[in-house]
């Protein structure tokens, strides 16, 4: 549990760093903004499933232009995940969660694997965002776990 909590702390930190880099770049790349919004919404989707709120419809690939609004989404996600994980017992990590995907397909996945999905999905897309920033001539955000661990 301690490892997952530490990795989630990294996720919150990395989400903030990538938003800082996007703001500093002053990018107008709508696909890049759509991608960062996608990360925030995917975090919401998985938490909704973990909390058993049913198959709430989220729009994973909606256009986005408002970085302050996306930052508020990430901040709310961090607060909600901290609250969820703070109540979670170690034994609950292996509990199976039943849910439907966005296209209606049914699945069962452990809490542990869902949390790892959230962690790895965000890191994957932050790498894509950093690459795009570099290609625009902007400064990418160092979001590696070791950078966080050294703080």
How confident is the model at residue 64, as a pLDDT?
76
Topology annotation, domain 2-149: 1.20.120
Tell whether the model's pLDDT for residue 92 goes beyond 70.
yes
How confident is the model at residue 28, as a pLDDT?
83
Decide if 98 contacts 107 (C-beta within 8 A).
Answer: yes
How confident is the model at residue 55, as a pLDDT?
63
Tell whether the model's pLDDT for residue 50 goes beyond 80.
yes
How confident is the model at residue 65, as a pLDDT?
72
How confident is the model at residue 99, as a pLDDT?
93
Prediction pTM value: 0.92
Return the minimum-mean-pLDDT range out of 19-23, 56-60, 82-86, 133-137: 56-60
Q: List, for residues 95-134, the tens digit of each pLDDT value.
A: 999 999 888 899 999 999 999 999 999 999 999 999 999 9
Q: List, for residues 59-72, the tens digit of each pLDDT value.
A: 776 777 789 999 99
How confident is the model at residue 56, as a pLDDT?
67
Tell whether the model's pLDDT for residue 137 goes beyond 70.
yes
Decide if 81 contacts 43 (C-beta within 8 A).
Answer: yes
Domain boundaries defined on the chain: 2-149
% of residues, the chain, pLDDT over 70: 97
26: left (phi over 0), alpha (psi -120 to 50) or beta: left
The residues near 112 (Cβ < 8 Å, ≥ 6 apart) are 4, 93, 94
CB atoms within 10 A of CB 112: 15
């Amino acid at each position: 549990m301690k490892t997952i909590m530490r990795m989630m702390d990294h996720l919150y930190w990395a989400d903030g760093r990538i938003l800082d880099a996007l703001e500093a770049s002053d990018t107008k790349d709508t696909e890049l903004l759509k991608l960062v919004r996608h990360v925030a919404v995917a975090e919401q989707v998985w938490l909704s499933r973990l909390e058993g709120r049913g198959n709430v419809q989220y729009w994973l690939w909606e256009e986005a232009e408002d970085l302050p609004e996306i930052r508020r989404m990430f901040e709310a996600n961090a607060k909600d995940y901290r609250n969820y994980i703070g109540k979670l017992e170690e034994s609950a990590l292996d509990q199976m969660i039943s849910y439907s995907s966005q296209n209606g397909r049914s699945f069962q996945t452990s809490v542990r694997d869902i949390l790892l999905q959230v962690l790895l999905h965000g890191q994957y897309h932050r790498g894509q965002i950093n690459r795009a920033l570099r290609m625009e001539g902007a400064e990418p955000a160092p979001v590696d776990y070791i950078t966080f661990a050294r703080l």
